[in-house]
Structure 1
Amino acid sequence: MNSKIVVKLTNLVGYTASISTILLWIIFVWVNPYGPGMEKTSAFITFMMLVLPAVIFGTGLMLERSMILLAAYIWSFPYSIYMVVTPGVFMLFGMTSFIYFICFMMYRFRGVKY
């Protein structure tokens, strides 16, 4: 497979995971049928643990820096694993975090060091 195709595919999958995380968070905070009593602090914590890593991950893709991708993955991993055990569509946070790791590995295999 051509290297440019792999790069474009990796970027497409990574950007899709980042955007999906942000969209899932919006649904989680404003449309969540499982959390009618969610407090403002919960929205803030989930923003810090899910949305900010997604934005940082997208930035890492733009800059082609594998360490930024790894940092975003490590940052989002604990809360994403917690979300895997929640009901409904929110278990997809775990999948988007796993995709962060896959994209990081693709960048490393491609030879992007830092």
Structure 2
Amino acid sequence: MASIFKNISVVGIAGGVLSIILWINFAFVNPYNDPTMGPMLNTFFMLLLPACLAIFSSIKLSQLLMFIAFVWSVPMSIYLIATPGIFSLFGLTSAFYLVSFLLIRFGRHSTAIHQ
């Protein structure tokens, strides 16, 4: 049963790590980024912090925290889906959070049923 939970947590961790890598690229490597702190601070709160929360909740298998990370990241992710380029992948990371939430939720129920 422990291997099931390891597989469940991989999805959330992968989404969080991918989101962190994309945010670093968005904030520091992106040539179109405004050098002021406004956009960087906004994306820090809307993309990077939910990614850290998603990683933490995947490790702890907390469905509530994963759902919060998903809902928190959705508005900015939907906005970035419409942009051309690599930053549309933020929508994929948000989908990873949703899938991880569903796996945690139904993974716990299925292990409780089989015991």
What interval of TM-score do these two structures reach, taking the shorter chain for normalisation? Answer: 0.7 to 0.9
Q: Show structure 1 runs of 4+ deviating over 3 A.
A: 3-6
Partner of 1:46: 43
Assess, with a 3 A threshold, how the Cα gap between structure 1 residues 32 and 68 changes in structure 2: closer, same or farther.
Answer: same
Percent identical residues: 35
Compute the displacement of 1:70 (Å): 0.2
Distance 2:98 2:12 in 1: 10
- Tell me whether 5-14 or 78-87 shows the greater mean CA deviation: 5-14
Distance 2:22 2:79 in 1: 15
- Tell me whether 43-52 or 56-65 shows the greater mean CA deviation: 56-65
Compute the displacement of 1:37 (Å): 3.0
Distance 1:36 1:64 in 2: 35
Distance 1:40 1:88 in 2: 22
Tell which has more relative contact order, 1 or 2 (C-alpha 8 A, sep 6+): 2
Distance 2:52 2:105 in 1: 20
Q: What amino acid maps onto 1:59 in structure 2?
A: F
The gaps in structure 1 that reach 5 residues or longer are none
Distance 1:62 1:36 in 2: 32
Distance 1:108 1:13 in 2: 13
So what's the TM-score if we normalise by structure 2? 0.87
So what's the TM-score if we normalise by structure 1? 0.88
The gaps in structure 2 that reach 5 residues or longer are 110-115
Distance 2:6 2:33 in 1: 40
Partner of 1:29: 27
CA contact (8 A) 2:46 2:72 kept: yes
